[in-house]
Chain A
């Protein structure tokens, strides 16, 4: 129940914030037209009801989830991976995206991919850089050169 309660609380806080934003939207000026507030308001109301219902719903045990899904029964259930590791990978990739914004696609991507490879255990850094550079090069030639699709340019240079 604890996990569902936390998620439901986060959702309710979000709904209240979004509902506040919705109240700031202007009223309609057309006859019979419900206006820009109506649709988001209905969606938020339904979300609030379901979030409250989720708050009082018992957390489903892992075994129950597996039993309930007949189609997935053929594959072996996999153990849950630590959240911390995933968030670190997300953080590194986000830093990479910011880097791409400033220095452009080629340099930014090589640095960010190399960092991620290092994080997942490619301790030989030159190998990680070489692999990242190869991937970047292939993408550069495929998009910029062959397909003439522009890649992100850096704001600094």
Chain B
């Protein structure tokens, strides 16, 4: 480990990597601080830029966007009362109250401190847990991998939003898309309609680019056309300066920060949960500690920010060790890893240990950057809130073409990106969540490949999936996840009847 750590340090500290971390962090902070833009869009925007880079600077820039994006959501949450990202929704409650009382600087300072605290805490957990988990995962065969990925996919249930039916349909459609191209076992063509460019299948990245970017672009354009005020957000022009928490504040919130960071890291490690849930759970902890939460308490800002930044390291655990993304941002990251020839999973630790540790150290450097940039550059981000979104969307629209084409230098991918964008727009409009489709598209090939390989090993006997304890546990967990929405109302009904 120490050998990898020193090699990783050498790689991460190269000036080129530091520069790209800085660019990524700035971009993540900017995108997250503008309400209506997501850092997933910033990730999509940066992917084509990474094509010309080596794997480490490429991943560094995306990590910068990820961590910066998670942290930057608090800026508009505090100054405007509008969360820059869903993860910053809980920060609005006390942060905006503090800003209204003229304490915006104090709230922003606490948000920065808590973000860095949560981020570094989750990084330490990631460094301790991930290599051990990777060692265990190396022993997995096709049956265990199949069960594990099915469990990862079952998180579609929690990503389905208001309609489980539509979420499942979106996920199944994603699985169906993975069957286009060459069959994983026999190498036969499926659903290619005689088109050679479809033989490699429907690429994950063109679909992601289209689905995440287009609904936002089209909505922004339509609002601009209707003059609904996209370009001008009502920012308060008060002079804002972040003030770092005092030693007394740091001492009094230390345990709460630890608890919130642990909540964030723990939930981040479970696919399908993510920042919003973690920040609300941590906010609940803050409310228990300080009953003034809700009226502008510093604990109400610190707890959710520590939690949602704790998610970053937590989400990296299943992504790096098992190759399972937990949300849209980590799915995009997975796509980027694959493009650069780094397949996340236990073998990544075995074959590219130095790069994995370089990633760990990069996350640490990025959080230091988050601290410095947000603390000293807060006035710049206040100005960013007034930036015309239409201009940014025009640039993103152009980048969608470049991004989808440059992956394989194949114009067919641009066409796929366009239709994925149209589908994404229609899905969003009619209440179908996009993330389950993306998650299924990412995991579908692995599911089919390992299911069929396991059956070849067992001469067609399905018993192979329940004979292995690991496989059995993951399948039971997946079943619980899938049945939970059906069982929960029944249990609630029974509890109500018992009370009556």
Contact = CB atoms under 8 A, between A and B. Distances in A.
Interface residues of B, number: 75
Contacts of A105: 401-402
A60 interface: yes
Q: Which of A46, A51, A132 has the most CB of B within 10 A?
A: A46
Interface string A1-41: 00100010001000000100100011011111111101110
The SS class assigned to the A binding surface is helix
A68 B451 CA distance: 36
Given A81-B219, A121-B225, A135-B394, A7 B430 contact: yes
B77 to A, nearest CB: 8
A99 to B, nearest CB: 11
A156 interface: no
Contact of B172 (A36, A50, A53, A100): A50
B48 interface: yes
A10 B280 CA distance: 38
B395 interface: yes
Contacts of B173: 47
B405 A151 contact: yes
A3 B431 CA distance: 11
A103 interface: no
Interface string B404-428: 0110010100110010011001000
B218 A31 contact: no
B287 interface: no
Nearest to B415: A97
A150 interface: yes
Interface residues of A, number: 74
B394 A113 contact: yes
B65 interface: no
Interface string B194-228: 00000000000000000000100011011111110
Interface stretch (B17-25, B162-170, B311-319): B162-170
A120 interface: yes
B487 interface: no
A30 B397 contact: no
Given A50-B165, A113-B394, A152 B401 contact: yes
A119 B225 contact: yes
Interface string A99-139: 01100010001000100110111000000000110011011
Given A50-B165, A71-B280, A75-B82, A33 B49 contact: no
Contacts of B455: 32-34
A124 to B, nearest CB: 14
A36 to B, nearest CB: 4
B458 A32 contact: yes
Contacts of A152: 401, 405, 411, 414
A143 B402 contact: yes
Contacts of A3: 430
Contact of B401 (A35, A109, A142): A109
A114 B461 CA distance: 60
Contact of A32 (B51, B168, B227, B461): B461
Contacts of A57: 163, 165
A117 B169 contact: no
10 contacts: A21-B191, A30-B186, A33-B456, A34-B452, A34-B455, A72-B89, A86-B218, A94-B418, A148-B52, A152-B411
Interface of A: 3, 7, 11, 18, 21, 25-26, 28-36, 38-40, 43-44, 46-47, 50-51, 53-54, 57, 60, 64-65, 68-72, 74-75, 80-83, 85-86, 89-90, 93-94, 97, 100-101, 105, 109, 113, 116-117, 119-121, 131-132, 135-136, 138-139, 142-143, 146-152
